[in-house]
Amino acid sequence: MSENGSKLIELPGSITVRDLAQRMEASPIQIIKILMSNGVMANINQLIDFDTASIVASEMGFETKSEVYEITEEQEPGEMPFWRQLLAKEDASRLVDRAPVVTILGHVDHGKTTLLDAIRHTNVAGGEAGGITQHIGAYQVEHKGKAITFLDTPGHAAFTSMRSRGAQGADIVVLVVAANDGVMPQTREAIAHAKAARVPIIVAMNKIDRPDANPDFTKKQLSESGLVPDDWDGDTIVVPVSAKQKQGIEDLLEAILLVADNIDIKANPDGKLFGTVIEAKVERAKGVVVNMLVYNGTLEPGDIIVAGRAYGRIRAMFDFRGRKLKKAGPSTPVQLMGMNEVPSAGDIFLKFSTEREARALVEERALAIQQHTAAAPKATLEELFAKVQSGEVHELRLVVKADVQGSLEPIISSLNELGKGDIKINILHAEAGNISESDIMLATASHAIVVGFNVQADAAARRNAEAEGVSIRLYNIIYRLTEDIEKAMKGLLEPEIKENTLGTGVVLATFKISKVGAIAGCRVTSGEFRRNAKVRLRREGTIVFEGEFSSLKHEKEDVREVRNGFECGAGFRNYNDFAVGDQIECYLLERATG
């Protein structure tokens, strides 16, 4: 307690919303709301600086003080990731060397994926080139007899702050900078994340094979961004590589080991077990599959662990080659089965001695979240619109996710166009990638709805959206998306409609009948066709028509339905261009429940 009775907390130079909430024992949503009322749009994984965090803390009755770190010359102050705090509690005399954990960051298209592939193919531990049978979010290679663990989280990872998480979860960041393109926005962002997480950076200056590569200019830009190359008397190692031609890979690995030697990369294999979730999903045959990285201790099948709101006893454990593992020590990536739910990427996992304790913790966490969000207002598109109309809200807030950056741009520009009228459209967050838990958190806190184009909502996001009453609307045709939003703004939005497929069929022959038009002779190949249902015609996968039947006949008789395996003659209203081989889908539009 400080003198005036308020509580005192120490804050680092920057902190994620989630961690700030944890430190104040508050809900992340509460923090996001306070940030919003101060004009800062943040999601749960976002890093906010000390000053911003202090404002939030003081609104919540805390007094703040700057956390003191021992800062080495080359590193700026930043947040100490939770796992490092745990590691710091280990008995120093029991610590042994472990493989450095490396993450590759950099601007899009600068060659991260190609570099990860090149490293994997040249140096997979044990010399089995290309011997990786499955992707588990990380792999290990060997260089001069020493192991290095690479985090291999794909670019489309389902969490927003992958770059921040990646930096936080690693010992070393390899920053890929294309020598023909130089330092770009995401390069700068990666540098900031690495610095905030106090993780040393090695630059892989990629694409040196290209005729337009300009190493000197790139080095100059790097220097301006605070990474002065060692051959320019700075202390950042810059390794020229060509990921495509697999050149410079050994030098890069050498540099990683060199940097690793300079920082203590240790853990206690017999100590407290903890690690982090790299990614997790549900697979039909295996159930919940979780990819994890062990930081400390040794993980074994039969262990009971908790990660986020999931717990379970480990049934089976595999390495990145798909081989069964009996033990996984520090810096080992593993895939495991046996958890009851899908935890979130970045969740720290801990071991418990009984399932009862593990369950109790998870229930406690779930309850805390429930209590904080029970009063959260619902945000469906219809309700939002009602508020817009009644003058309560003057803008429609959206979180937009799309499969690729290329599809985001036209969506955003059409939405902005729509928002030029009386009702504004406020796009709080737009990004390529699946809809994640943090998107829902942001939508909840800001009464927004989430729209997705060619993406899905991951399990944690769906669960969260259901609990919070946040509307997720998914589209795979851009104009449908904009049309819906436009309708919502005009008050014409119909309740969310779900498509229920009745049957499919194929066109076997086409006929022209005078005064009637074109008729398709077809066979129903699954389910059934119904005369009063909707139809869709696809040619080589592309939709060429959507509408209704004008006629449906079986052996010259008008019929109401045709079942699987039977042939029929079908006419579509206002459509005459059938072709043999066209696929027909017959479906009903139903009002979605819930």
What is the Cα Rg of the chain in Å? 28
First to last CA, the chain: 47
Torsion angle of the four alpha carbons 488, 490, 495, 499, in this order, in degrees rounded to the nearest 10: -80
**DSSP label at 26?**
-
Helix (H, G, I), strand (E, B) or coil at 313: strand
- Position 243 contacts ligand GDP (CB under 6 A): yes
Residue 111 vs 343, nearer CB to ligand GDP = 111
- Position 189 contacts ligand GDP (CB under 6 A): no
Residue 243 vs 259, nearer CB to ligand GDP = 243
* Cα four-point dihedral sign 263, 265, 268, 272: positive
- Position 114 contacts ligand GDP (CB under 6 A): yes
Compute φ and ψ for 236, nearest 5 degrees: -100, 125
**DSSP label at 489?**
H
Residue 153 vs 236, nearer CB to ligand GDP = 153
Residue 27 vs 114, nearer CB to ligand GDP = 114
Helix (H, G, I), strand (E, B) or coil at 586: strand
465's enclosing H/E stretch is helix 459-468
Beta-strand relationship, 497-513 and 561-563: unpaired
Q: Do the Cβ atoms of 167 and 195 come closer than 8 Å?
A: no
Tell me how far, at minimum, the Cβ of 242 lies from ligand GDP, in Å.
Answer: 4
Residue 112 vs 165, nearer CB to ligand GDP = 112
Residue 196 vs 205, nearer CB to ligand GDP = 205
- Position 242 contacts ligand GDP (CB under 6 A): yes
Distance CA 80, CA 90 (A): 15
Tell me how far, at minimum, the Cβ of 196 lies from ligand GDP, in Å.
Answer: 21
Helix axes 50-59, 17-24, angle to 10 degrees: 40
Exposed e or buried b per residue across 203-216, where buried means at least 16 C-beta atoms within 10 angstroms of its C-beta? bbbbbbbeeebeee
Q: CA 351 → CA 179, 263, 314, distances in Å?
A: 45, 27, 11
**DSSP label at 505?**
E
- Position 8 contacts ligand GDP (CB under 6 A): no
Residue pointed to by tokens 């900078």: 177
Residue 247 vs 510, nearer CB to ligand GDP = 247
> Which of 206, 268, 291, 446 is the binder for ligand GDP (CB under 6 A)?
206
Residue 404 vs 478, nearer CB to ligand GDP = 404
Tell me how far, at minimum, the Cβ of 253 lies from ligand GDP, in Å.
Answer: 16
Tell me how far, at minimum, the Cβ of 211 lies from ligand GDP, in Å.
Answer: 9
- Position 250 contacts ligand GDP (CB under 6 A): no
> Which of 110, 351, 397, 429 is the binder for ligand GDP (CB under 6 A)?
110
DSSP 504-558: EEEEEEEEEETTTEEEEEEEEEEEEEETTSEEEEEETTEEEEEEEEEEEEETTEE
Tell me how far, at minimum, the Cβ of 517 lies from ligand GDP, in Å.
Answer: 49
Tell me how far, at minimum, the Cβ of 106 lies from ligand GDP, in Å.
Answer: 6
- Position 433 contacts ligand GDP (CB under 6 A): no
- Position 186 contacts ligand GDP (CB under 6 A): no
Q: Do the Cβ atoms of 578 and 537 come closer than 8 Å?
A: yes
- Position 108 contacts ligand GDP (CB under 6 A): yes
Residue 90 vs 109, nearer CB to ligand GDP = 109
Please choose, out of 1-9, 110-118, 323-331, 464-472, the segment that lies near ligand GDP by the rule CB under 6 A. Answer: 110-118
- Position 106 contacts ligand GDP (CB under 6 A): yes
Please choose, out of 106-114, 181-189, 330-338, 469-477, the segment that lies near ligand GDP by the rule CB under 6 A. Answer: 106-114
Length of the chain, in residues: 594
- Position 377 contacts ligand GDP (CB under 6 A): no
Residue 107 vs 429, nearer CB to ligand GDP = 107
Tell me how far, at minimum, the Cβ of 207 lies from ligand GDP, in Å.
Answer: 4
- Position 209 contacts ligand GDP (CB under 6 A): yes
In DSSP terms, which residues pair with 521 in a beta bridge?
509, 569
Q: Give Cβ neighbours of residue 3 (< 8 Å, ≥ 6 apart).
A: none
CA atoms in the 13 A half-sphere facing the CB of 451: 29
Beta-strand relationship, 172-178 and 101-106: parallel
Per-residue contact track with ligand GDP, 144 to 163, x per CB under 6 A? Answer: -----------x--------
Residue 252 vs 289, nearer CB to ligand GDP = 252
> Which of 75, 113, 426, 456 is the binder for ligand GDP (CB under 6 A)?
113
Tell me how far, at minimum, the Cβ of 118 lies from ligand GDP, in Å.
Answer: 8
Distance CA 194, CA 479 (A): 40
Q: Show the 3-state SS of 248-292.
A: CHHHHHHHHHHHHHHCCCEECCCCCCEEEEEEEEEECCCEEEEEE
Distance CA 382, CA 472 (A): 12
Distance CA 267, CA 193 (A): 24
- Position 244 contacts ligand GDP (CB under 6 A): yes
- Position 210 contacts ligand GDP (CB under 6 A): yes
- Position 546 contacts ligand GDP (CB under 6 A): no
CA atoms in the 13 A half-sphere facing the CB of 38: 17
Helix (H, G, I), strand (E, B) or coil at 185: helix
- Position 120 contacts ligand GDP (CB under 6 A): no
Tell me how far, at minimum, the Cβ of 210 lies from ligand GDP, in Å.
Answer: 5
Residue 109 vs 270, nearer CB to ligand GDP = 109
> Which of 67, 109, 382, 546 is the binder for ligand GDP (CB under 6 A)?
109
- Copy the structure tokens of residue 258: 């060199």
Residue 210 vs 553, nearer CB to ligand GDP = 210
Number of residues that bind ligand GDP (CB under 6 A): 16
Residue 11 vs 203, nearer CB to ligand GDP = 203
Please choose, out of 104-112, 468-476, 488-496, 582-590, the segment that lies near ligand GDP by the rule CB under 6 A. Answer: 104-112
Residue 106 vs 229, nearer CB to ligand GDP = 106
Tell me how far, at minimum, the Cβ of 241 lies from ligand GDP, in Å.
Answer: 7
Distance CA 35, CA 80 (A): 22
Helix%, strand%, coil% for the chain, nearest 5? 30, 35, 35
- Position 182 contacts ligand GDP (CB under 6 A): no
Which residues of this protein are in contact with ligand GDP, per CB under 6 A?
106, 108-114, 155, 206-207, 209-210, 242-244
